[in-house]
Structure 1
Amino acid sequence: MQLPVQSQSTIYAEPWEASATAADLAAVARAADRAGFGYVATCDHVAIPRRLAGPMSTVWYDPVATLSFLAGVTEHVRLLSHVAILGLRHPLISAKQYATLDHLSGGRLILGVGAGHVQEEFEILGVDFARRGAVLDETLDALRAALGPEEYPEFEGELFSFKDLGQLPRPVQERIPVWVGGSSPAAVRRAAVRGDGWLPQGDPRDRLPAQIARIGELRAEAGVAGPMEIGAITEALYVGEPGWDTGRRTLTGKPEALAESLREYKALGVDQIQVRFRSRDRAELVDQITAFGAEVAPHLNDQPLRLVTGD
């Protein structure tokens, strides 16, 4: 779930989220946990400039603090940063934060990462915005070492170098999965070469096959083996007949019809889908999550496709 409340861009936030509380956030995460969804997710921005505050808002919860809070109120659902702008932080800082989160949650972290797009954030933190892609690439390489099993990880790169510095606790997972977000050519290449998964940024269904094929080509060229999680963000959903205007692009209807539409993603080469529900308040969103888990998911059980839910 790209959770509600924790980020409130006008592109996707519902009006009720503006006055929502931590209790609302926790209730939605618990509903997803009970319904058997794959992950809940939070976004990442340090500070929003005035020029972007209108469409983006300035409501962006810190991902590590938020996911740690949610780890304490859930039991099974995985915890995804979608996406962490790792280039804004030294890799040892990110390693300390996310290793601790994985440790405290019992190994439920998925590290979603992205290059970022707000120039002022980089400038105020002294990071070269123009080189953010290269910074992220080396940061990911450094994090592979820093999030590994060694108490004293070592890395030598152009921007970062460390050794003989111990960090405990270590992550529970032997290898924390790294999913790379973004649909630009650079992001797709980064996902293919450095990622364990890909999180497209709003690609419609008809664009996915070409992007997925490109990832396969790039992995083959780079000699990268191992599993690759391909994700997709679905259209907005509403289980049943809403009785209110949910927008012309929202998929609504009976559970069987929704499941039939969602099964198409598997045929496109997608491994996991992130779904977003329209809602007018917390109770309606919780009801939608519950209905999806109970009434739609059973129609997908014959398909090797894992379900997640997003705001």
Structure 2
Amino acid sequence: MSLRYGIQLPVQSQSTIYAETWEADAGPEDLLAVARTADRAGFAYLASCDHVAIPRRLASAMSTVWYDPVATLAFLAAATGRIRLLSHVAVVGLRHPLLTAKQFATLDHLSNGRLILGVGAGHVREEFEALGVDFERRGSALDESIDALRAALGPDEFPEHHGRLYDFEGLGQRPRPAQEQVPVWVGGSSPAAVRRAALKGDGWLPQGDPRERLPAQIARIRRLREEAAVEGPFVIGAITEPLYVGKPGWDVGRRTVAKDAEELAESLRAYRAMGVHQVQVRIRCRSRAELTDQIEAFGTEVAPLL
């Protein structure tokens, strides 16, 4: 089986950990250009992050630029035709599941079934407090939210869920998702997040796990699913090191894997050998043009070798 590849969108989140300097002055046209190029280049998905507001104490590292994922992905859905739309990740515990379901069901409907709902617990305490949500219970809120969202995004016009935090029935929601079952990928690399992904998700989105840590995490997921007799397909993901196709001619950083197509493909095939199904690539670039050129090069030169 070929290794699938997706990409986190630039511009829509600008944490200093990964944002390139050109993104500070970028906007909608840049997002459109990147999305259309990735669609043509065979990328499996576009991903968009989720934060409602960033406190001052974290703003210098995280920045305050975080586009809304539903609005962003809906905007790009109309400009693309094939590529899937991933929330990586939606902090669903910040919102009532019926509200989340309404937004993402509409996105799936309008995009003809291209949504992948990536969910996570969140980590910014002030964000939860401002919205009146218990930060300490965010894990249990996410667990129940997944169950509630399964019901609310299912085929029934009048979904039903009865839990400790959320209770609803007899409330109709349309439009329904275009997909019979919207895939739910669970993000996070803590023991609790990995367990949640294994037992409640259709896939796992690690957060910053280096290559050497992935085999043990994957083995744990498989063991947990086997012990709980969880059946059905399960997608294991990975976030690659920063990449660059070819010789950059500028300082791309010591962690960046900058190689020709064959060497880069060989490096990425190692993920597939350890049990990864899809990788999220990070491409170093100095401009939108360089990024779209790199996306095209990845799709035409590297992808056929995966």
Identify the TM-score tier after normalising by the shorter chain: over 0.9
Partner of 2:107: 101
Deviation at 1:125, TM superposition (A): 0.6
Secondary structure at the residue paired with 2:244?
A: strand
If the length of structure 2 is used for normalisation, what is the TM-score? 0.97
User: 1:251 aligns to what?
Assistant: 257
Across the two proteins, how many residue pairs are aligned to each other? Answer: 300
Residue 204 of structure 1 pairs with residue 213 of structure 2: no
Cα offset for 1:21?
1.1
Aligned ranges 1:59-208 → 2 under 5 Å: 59-208=65-214
Amino acid at match of 1:78: R
- Post-superposition Cα deviations, 1:134-192, rounded to whole Å, max 9, x if no partner, equal 00100110011000000001111111111110001100101100000000001001000
- 2:8 aligns to what SS in structure 1? coil
2:8 & 2:80 partners in 1: Cα distance?
15
Write out the 4+ residue segments of structure 1 that deviate beyond 6 Å after TM superposition. none
1:53: how far off? Answer: 0.1
In the alignment, structure 2 segments of 5+ residues that lack a partner are 1-6
Q: What is the Cα deviation at residue 223 of structure 1?
A: 1.9
Give, in whole Å, the separation in 1 of the partners of 2:152 and 2:48: 22
Post-superposition CA distance 1:206-225 (Å, at most 9, x none): 10010001011111222211
Q: Deviations over 1:252-283 (max 9, x none)?
A: 12101100111000111100011111000000
Find the aligned partners of 1:82 and 1:224 in 2 and give their Cα distance: 24
Corresponding residue to 2:223 among 209, 217, 221: 217
TM-score (norm: length of structure 1) = 0.96
1:40 counterpart = 2:46: yes
Q: Secondary structure at the match of 1:212?
A: helix
What's the counterpart of residue 279 of structure 1? 285
- What is the letter of the counterpart of residue 169 of structure 1? P
Structure 1 position 20, deviation (Å) = 0.2
Q: Distance in 2 between matches of 1:296 and 1:222?
A: 38
- Residue 291 of structure 1 corresponds to 297
Report the Cα distance in structure 2 between the residues aligned to 1:254 and 1:136, rounded to whole angstroms: 42
Residue 9 of structure 1 is matched in structure 2 by 15
Structure 1, unaligned stretches of length 5 or more?
301-311
